[in-house]
Amino acid sequence: MRDTRPAYPPEYDEPALCAVCGGDAEVGEGGCSCGECPRCGSVGDPGCYEHGLAPAHDSVASFLDHVGVEPLSDCLRAIDKHNAEHVWLVLRDGRRIYHHSDPEVLDGLPGWTRLEAVGVGGIAWDGSDWEWAREVPPGHGWLDLDAAREAFGEALDEHRGEEEEDGEPDDKTGKGEP
Ligand SMILES: [Zn+2]
Ligand SMILES: [Zn+2]
């Protein structure tokens, strides 16, 4: 027998990536940053969120808690409906989830899902080509998200001010949706 392949399944040749955050479970700094389960002591086991482990500061659950609307499909739609800007989520696998994404995808994301970034953006709804978008770090009390939403509002105000100075005859404000 010259088969030198290891007898264990091939996935064990890959670094042990955390199932929650996608970080390398073997390394400390820069790797998995998930909390330890208070019941079983495991780290990075999605099942532990059933054991009373609190979702991370940058999780979907924390985001919903911060905005105060759930589930996620309602949350992102409510932000879009009541504000000039919309907010999207960037998952750690690079996928972007929007208010217009499939509700089954949105609400199928477990609350413990940790995010890579949150995005804020929108257009002026005035027929101009003005648009603004920014992606910022998630969590940490969602300070960056709130700051980005504020920055959007300020940029939009500034744009509208400039439009008025230009004496646009047909200046519309608001979203102009039916
Ligand atoms: Zn982890
Ligand atoms: Zn556990």
Q: What would the pLDDT profile of 62-107 be if each residue is shown by its tens digit?
A: 999 999 999 999 999 999 999 999 999 999 999 999 999 999 999 9
Cα of 52 vs centre of ligand 2, distance in Å, is: 8
- The pLDDT value recorded for residue 20 is 92
Tell me the ligand closest to 42's alpha carbon: 2
Cα of 39 vs centre of ligand 2, distance in Å, is: 5
Cα of 68 vs centre of ligand 2, distance in Å, is: 27
- The pLDDT value recorded for residue 109 is 96
Cα of 34 vs centre of ligand 1, distance in Å, is: 4
Cα of 19 vs centre of ligand 1, distance in Å, is: 7
**Which residue from 127, 125, 132 is spatially nearest to 154, judged by alpha carbons?**
132
Cα of 41 vs centre of ligand 2, distance in Å, is: 6
**Distance, CA of 16 to chain centre:** 24
Tokens of 57: 């500061």
Cα of 114 vs centre of ligand 2, distance in Å, is: 17
Handedness of CA 14, 20, 26, 28 (dihedral sign): positive
| Cis peptide preceding 6, ω within 30 of 0 | no
Distance CA 82, CA 124 (A): 14
- The pLDDT value recorded for residue 30 is 74
| Contact between residue 83 and residue 77 where contact means Cβ atoms under 8 Å apart | no
- Give the helix ranges, DSSP H, for the chain: 60-67, 72-82, 103-108, 143-165
28 in helix, strand or coil? coil
- The pLDDT value recorded for residue 2 is 57
Low-confidence ranges of the chain (pLDDT < 50): 171, 176
124 in helix, strand or coil? coil
Tokens of 91: 């998952």
Cα of 87 vs centre of ligand 1, distance in Å, is: 25
| Contact between residue 72 and residue 61 where contact means Cβ atoms under 8 Å apart | no
Distance CA 20, CA 32 (A): 9
Tell me the ligand closest to 45's alpha carbon: 2
**Torsion angle in degrees (nearest 10) through CA of 5, 9, 11, 17:** -120
Tokens of 31: 């790797």
pTM passes above 0.75: yes
Distance CA 132, CA 46 (A): 36
List 173's β-bridge partners, or say none: none
| Contact between residue 51 and residue 44 where contact means Cβ atoms under 8 Å apart | no
